[in-house]
Structure formats: C-alpha cells, structure tokens
Structure 1
Amino acid sequence: MRYLLLLIIAVPAAEIGFLLLSGKTIGVWPTILLIILTGVLGAYLAKREGLQTIRKAQEQFRMGQIPGDAVLDGICIIIGGILLLTPGFLSDIFGFLLLFPPTRKPVKLLMINALRKRIEKGNIRIIK
C-alpha cells in the first residue's frame, strides 16, 4: 500500500516536471501538439492491437483452446491505451511499450509470475 501511495504522488509529479521541461525546451504549442499526437496514435494502435487480439482469442476458441495468452495481451493493450490517452511523456513511453508485442512479453511474464505466486500463497483459488 505504501508503494501505491508513492506511485500516486511520484508519477504525476514526474509527468508535470517533464511537461514543464518540454514546454521550456521546445515550446508550449509543440508540447501540446506532441501530447495530442501521442494520444491519437495511441488510440489507433490500441484499436489495431485490440482487434488482432480478439481475432487471436476467437481462433483459439474455435480450436478448443483457452485463450490465456490473448487475455493477458488484452489486459496489456487496455492498460497501454489508457496510459497513452493520459497526458504525459512517461505514461506515453510505458503505454507504447505495452502496445508493441515484443516489449509486451516481459510484462506478461511478470503478470504470470505474480499470479502464480498468489495462487501458491493461497490468495487466489482455482475451482475446477
């Protein structure tokens, strides 16, 4: 819980700092245009990647498989899209990392390991 509070305070402060630095370095209007551009580009990429993930999940369902990997991809894409629509350069960097499949793999591994640890601790129960 302490880390979450620190994250809620530190991330917006860093975002504001980078926005101020960018406004001072390249100007206010280029900074605003850059924020709008990353938002529009992020929405497009999130839509494209999301549709590909839905197709992949449907294909796995047709083959009788559980689309676990597609679900993790979908979670990463949703979080990445939200981060890209949020104004700020740090959130944009992490958002783009979550949208591109090669950089999404390490995040998915972290998610799987965290889920596995919670299951082993007994915090999550799997009912069969």
Structure 2
Amino acid sequence: MFVVILALLIIWPIAELFVMVQVADWIGFFWMLFLLFASSVAGMMILKHRGRAHWRRFRGAVDERRPPAKEAFDGIMITVGALLLIIPGFITSVIGLFLLFPPTRWLIRLVALTLFASKFKVAATTASWGNRGYGYYRGSRQPDYDIDGDAVDVTDRTDGEPLPQLRSGPESSEDQVDRNP
C-alpha cells in the first residue's frame, strides 16, 4: 500500500504537468491559466453552497429519525469533488466533476456499497441531549401527570447489620455528608 501511495505521489504531478502542457499547447498558456483559476473558484463556491445544503439534508434525515447514509455519502462526495476542483490541475478537476454530478455519484455509491457492504455492520442510533433531558425530541408528548410512590425502609441484612438510613427533609440536614469527589 505504501508503494502505491508513493507511486501516486510521484506519477500524479507528472501526469498533471503533462496534461497542462498539452492543454496550453492546444488553447494557449493564458487560457489554460484562466481555466485552472476558474476551476478553483468554482470549487470554492460549490464547497460553500452545496456543503451547506447537504449539511441541512443530513440534519433533516437525523431529525426524521432515519439513517442519513445517502446524505452523508453524497456530502462526502461533493466535498471531495469540490476540493479536487480547487486543486490546480485538469485531471483532478475532471475527477472532481465526476464526483459532483448526481448520476456518477449514484454509480460510485452503488460500487462502494457492493464492495464494502459485506465488510461492515450497519447500525444507527439517535439520541437527544437538550435542556429537557435525554430522550426528548420535538415530536414527543410529555406526560401531564406525576407518578407518586412510597419509600420503604428495609433494615434487615443477611449479615445482621442494619442498612444505612436514607432520610430526606429538614431533619436530615445535620446528617448530610458531602459525596462530591
């Protein structure tokens, strides 16, 4: 794996330079620079706007209590595609454009699912931690009643010693022990 990454780090820039020289020879040096600059600006704009839109879709899926796998995958593909557009180079820009188009994202998602679905277990859970406590969400109904109960003092143990007394109210204020670490 290390050899493959090292080869990519050496071969990729050489391939990008070769394509840049060919494009500059075909349309001119300044037009080539303009295309690279326009690609970078487009990548930044896509990253800003589409990234926010996919984050809203992701949060919407979580709020609807369904697994946000499609939204997460699309968000990652759009982010990677926009970053590849920002990097100067025509090969990276073409790969970035493939990652940005929905039909090619669908195809990449299908290939990724078939390759990796058998290797991972899928689990999803949702929880909320707000000022209303664990398990509260906007659609839940809170009960409008209190549950009353009685406490029973049990003093018998199997070894013969009494259990510690638990008291509440003003009479136990002198017995309180600071239990905070």
Kindly tell me: are residues 46 and 6 of structure 1, through their superposed partners in 2, closer, same or farther at Cα, counting changes over 3 Å? same
CA RMSD of aligned residues (A): 2.1
Instruction: Find the aligned partners of 1:24 and 1:100 in 2 and give their Cα distance.
Output: 29
What TM-score results when the alignment is normalised by the length of structure 1? 0.83
Which residue pairs with 1:19 in the alignment? 20
Unaligned regions of 5+ residues in structure 2, if any? Answer: 125-181
Instruction: Verify: 1:62 aligned to 2:66, yes or no.
Output: no
Q: Report if aligned partners of 1:46, 1:99 keep a CA contact under 8 Å in 2.
A: no
Instruction: Find the aligned partners of 1:70 and 1:95 in 2 and give their Cα distance.
Output: 18
Amino acid in the other structure paired with 2:35:
L
Instruction: Find the aligned partners of 2:98 and 2:68 in 1 and give their Cα distance.
Output: 22
Q: Work out which structure has the larger RCO, using CA pairs closer than 8 Å and 6 or more positions apart in sequence.
A: 1
Identity %: 28
What TM-score results when the alignment is normalised by the length of structure 2? 0.61
Q: Report if aligned partners of 2:36, 2:88 keep a CA contact under 8 Å in 1.
A: yes
State how 1:1-128 maps to structure 2 within 5 Å: 1=1, 2-119=3-120
Kindly tell me: are residues 16 and 100 of structure 1, through their superposed partners in 2, closer, same or farther at Cα, counting changes over 3 Å? same
Q: Which has the larger radius of gyration?
A: 2
Q: Report if aligned partners of 1:42, 1:96 keep a CA contact under 8 Å in 2.
A: no
Between the two proteins, the alignment pairs up a number of residues equal to 123
Q: 1:15 offset after TM fit, Å?
A: 0.7
Q: Report if aligned partners of 1:61, 1:67 keep a CA contact under 8 Å in 2.
A: yes
From the two aligned structures, give the one with the greater helix fraction. Answer: 1
Helix, strand or coil for the counterpart of 1:64? coil
Instruction: Find the aligned partners of 2:13 and 2:38 in 1 and give their Cα distance.
Output: 20
Q: 1:127 offset after TM fit, Å?
A: 7.6
Q: Report if aligned partners of 1:76, 1:98 keep a CA contact under 8 Å in 2.
A: yes
